[in-house]
């Protein structure tokens, strides 16, 4: 039933790879050339499948297959199609192409769902480009803060407002909080995404059904400020060594993480970028400044609050002991989301009926699904097994596992 649909998806994955390769991986920058190519490709296929097309003020794309009763709230299948720099080909794109594969399978078999079915291609999920979580999906609900339009893209230095305007979108409507999506008219949202960790591969299960999505707090431009000094002339007692103080902070947060795990709580803490000032550091200098970023994630708001309190307490103690100052800069982040238990149960039942291997599991990474869930939309996230992690050129996905996700989507959609 879905063989032709899967072949279509395979061809589209290869076309995306061919046109957005940026060795050693692929790059589809938010509101950039790669994302634009991907949106144009999906629009073309949508037209070939006879889908109606709409674009909102932020540039999110909606391709709709009419159901037999258009008065009913619709299903939305969607994900993002941008990528991190030099990333992989499947992160995000798998969810969009799964939606197109479902439509292709329905067209091939002459079946029409009861409800309208919309494939949504969401803009700018990867906050690598603009330091704003879930930019496209929040804009779709009119939730993007106006100040987000003044953030600049990491590689161009141009504002989000300028990038939107250059592509013919409407940043003024985004700024005004104009909503395209209304939760009351959405029956449910389902996102397919590659798993970004090793759990499904290690457990030899093709699909994961996500219970909840972690929220976060982030400091993208933090610094530890001490004092530069001669590496041989400044005794230990008089040093204000920023690197040693930063190392103390890392060790202290590791202790906090140990405490969480002893209490049976889940979180991740990552210092993704660390570096001394290239304009001033030297082999024979005590380092007076180090920059770093910190990304803390958990499904629990209470855990995030606990870790933030402990971070600030550790920093105060270390600053006094080492004679340094921590400047964390702007705090950003996202809210955790618990996904709809009834919709997940529907997917569990469909997987069992279809003989599809699936396990329930949390997501430590953020996804646009959380925006829908936190707006009261019944939302589900289906993970597809991935062999090499994500956000890297070696990102992988077996097409037969992807086909299982498409089968599961079809079973769920046709049941309601």
User: Per residue in 96-147, pLDDT tens?
Assistant: 999 999 999 999 999 999 999 999 999 999 999 999 989 999 999 999 999 9
CB 352 within 8 A of CB 240: no
Confidence of residue 334 (pLDDT cuts 50, 70, 90): confident
Residue 380: name the closest of 399, 407, 361 by CA.
361
Task: Report how far residue 70's alpha carbon sits from residue 313's, in angstroms, rounded to the nearest whole number.
Answer: 55
Domains of the chain: 3-214+336-414 (3.40.630.10), 216-334 (3.30.70.360)
Task: Report how far residue 53's alpha carbon sits from residue 47's, in angstroms, rounded to the nearest whole number.
Answer: 8
What average pLDDT does this structure show over 305-333? Answer: 97
Question: What's CA 314's distance to the chain center, in Å?
Answer: 29
Neighbouring CB atoms inside 10 A of 152's CB total 16
Residues written for the chain: 416
**Confidence (pLDDT) at 1:** 72
Largest CA distance in the chain: 82
Residues in a beta bridge with 2: none
Give per-residue pLDDT as tens, 219-250: 999 999 999 999 999 999 999 999 999 999 99
Neighbouring CB atoms inside 10 A of 200's CB total 23
Which pairing describes strands 52-55 and 61-65: parallel, antiparallel, or unpaired? antiparallel
What average pLDDT does this structure show over 245-264? Answer: 98
Whether the predicted pLDDT of 416 surpasses 80: no
CB 152 within 8 A of CB 29: no
In our burial notation (b when 16+ CB lie closer than 10 A, e otherwise), range 238-247 reads ebbbbbbbbb
Residue 372: name the closest of 409, 337, 325 by CA.
337
Whether the predicted pLDDT of 95 surpasses 90: yes
CB 402 within 8 A of CB 9: yes
* 353 Cβ contact list (under 8 Å, min separation 6): 411
15: three-class secondary structure by DSSP: helix
pTM over 0.95: no
Confidence of residue 306 (pLDDT cuts 50, 70, 90): very high
Task: Report how far residue 43's alpha carbon sits from residue 238's, in angstroms, rounded to the nearest whole number.
Answer: 64
* DSSP string over 205-257: -SEEEEEEE-EEEEEEEEEEE---EETTTS-GGG---HHHHHHHHHHHHHHHH
* 383 Cβ contact list (under 8 Å, min separation 6): 193, 194, 195, 200, 207, 208, 209, 210, 361, 363
What average pLDDT does this structure show over 149-165? Answer: 97
State phi, psi for 118 to the nearest 5 degrees.
-110, 130
Torsion of CA 262, 374, 332, 80, to 10 degrees: 110
327: three-class secondary structure by DSSP: strand
Residue 121: name the closest of 31, 64, 61 by CA.
61
**Confidence (pLDDT) at 335:** 87
Residue 9's H or E segment, with its range, is helix 3-20
């Amino acid at each position: 039933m879905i063989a032709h649909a899967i072949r279509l998806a395979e061809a589209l994955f290869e076309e995306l790879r061919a046109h957005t390769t940026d060795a050693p991986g692929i790059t589809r920058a938010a509101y950039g050339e790669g994302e634009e190519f991907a949106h144009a490709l999906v629009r073309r296929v949508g037209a070939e499948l006879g889908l109606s097309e709409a674009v909102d003020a932020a540039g999110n794309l909606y391709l709709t297959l009419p159901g037999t009763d258009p008065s009913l709230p619709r299903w939305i299948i969607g994900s993002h199609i941008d990528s991190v720099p030099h990333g992989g080909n499947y992160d995000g794109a798998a969810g969009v192409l799964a939606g197109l594969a479902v439509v292709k399978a329905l067209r091939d078999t002459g079946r029409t769902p009861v409800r309208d079915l919309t494939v949504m291609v969401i803009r700018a999920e990867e906050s690598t480009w603009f330091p704003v979580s879930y930019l496209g999906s929040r804009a779709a609900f009119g939730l993007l803060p106006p100040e987000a339009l003044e953030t600049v893209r990491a590689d161009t230095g141009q504002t989000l407002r300028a990038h939107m305007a250059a592509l013919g979108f409407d940043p003024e409507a985004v700024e005004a909080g104009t909503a395209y999506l209304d939760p009351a008219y959405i029956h449910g949202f389902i996102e397919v995404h590659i798993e970004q960790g090793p759990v499904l591969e290690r457990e030899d299960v093709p699909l994961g059904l996500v219970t909840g999505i972690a929220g976060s707090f982030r400091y993208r431009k933090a610094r530890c400020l001490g004092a530069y000094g001669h590496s041989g002339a400044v005794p230990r007692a008089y040093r204000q060594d920023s690197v040693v103080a930063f190392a103390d902070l890392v060790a202290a947060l590791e202790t906090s993480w140990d405490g969480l795990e002893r209490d049976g709580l889940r979180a991740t803490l990552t210092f993704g970028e660390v570096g001394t000032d290239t304009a001033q550091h030297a082999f024979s200098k005590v380092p007076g400044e180090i920059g770093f970023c910190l990304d803390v994630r958990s499904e629990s708001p209470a855990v995030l609050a606990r870790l933030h309190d402990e971070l600030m307490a550790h920093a105060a103690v270390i600053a006094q002991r080492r004679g340094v100052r921590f400047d964390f800069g702007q705090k950003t982040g996202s809210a955790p989301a618990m996904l709809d238990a009834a919709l997940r149960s529907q997917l569990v039942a469909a997987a069992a009926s279809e003989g599809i291997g699936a396990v329930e599991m949390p997501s430590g990474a953020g996804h646009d699904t959380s925006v829908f869930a936190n707006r009261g939309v019944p939302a589900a996230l289906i993970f597809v097994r991935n062999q090499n992690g994500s956000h890297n050129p070696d990102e992988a996905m077996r097409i037969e596992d992807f086909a299982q996700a498409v089968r599961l989507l079809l079973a769920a959609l046709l049941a309601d």
